[in-house]
Each structure stands twice: as structure tokens, then as C-alpha cells.
Amino acid sequence: MNKPGPSYLFGFRQVFVWAFILLLVPVPAVAYLDPTTGSMVISAIVGLFASLVLAVRTYWYRIKAFIDRKPVQAHSGGDAGDDKDADRNTGDGAA
């Protein structure tokens, strides 16, 4: 018992297929792109690439630390530093 899907899906698919076919139809362009436009596009691409490289170089250590982050381990106690703090807070006046 195969139940057909909702009827609106078929209509959506048909519209999508026709829109895709219409996008593939070539349309003549009435435009002139001079050499300056091409060099402007190339300089924009180079500037974007240089900005990305500079941003990565600037934040490299932060990116690296984020990627190499190790899971936090639970503190088991028993460090020597804890004893020094305990001696300091005894209040017996001994230095």
C-alpha cells in the first residue's frame, strides 16, 4: 500500500524544475566590461585573500589553542601549594 505524497509537493517540484531549466537558457547581455573592471575584480580578490591571511596570522595562537584544547582534568588534591596556604592561615603568628 504505497500512499502517494501530498499533492503540493508535486507542484513544488515542477516549479523547481522549470525554474532550473529557465536559469540554464542563455540570455544575451547588453553590457560592456572594460579592462579596468577586470583589474578591479582581481584587486578585490587579492585584497580579500590578503585580509584573510592577516587575520589568520594575527589570531593564529588563539586558533591553535582552540584546536589543541585538552579536556579539563579533575583536581585530585594533595598539591604542595595547598599546605603552604594552610600554614599561612593557622594564626599562630609564626612566620
Instruction: Judge contact between 41 and 34, C-beta under 8 A.
Output: no
| DSSP, residue by residue, 29-94 | ------HHHHHHHHHHHHHHHHHHHHHHHHTHHHHHHHHTPPPPPPP----HHHHHHHHHTS-S--
User: Which is more confidently placed, 14 or 7?
Assistant: 14
Interval 20-54: pLDDT, tens: 999 998 888 888 888 898 899 999 999 999 999 99
pLDDT band for 67, please (50, 70, 90 cuts).
confident
With a CB cutoff of 8 Å and minimum separation 6, the contacts of 8 are: none
Query: How much is the average pLDDT of 68-78?
Result: 65
Q: So what's the pLDDT on residue 42?
A: 95
Question: Could you tell me the residue ranges of all domains in the chain?
Answer: 36-67
CA atoms within 13 A on the CB side of 35: 0
**Amino acid letter, residue 8:** Y
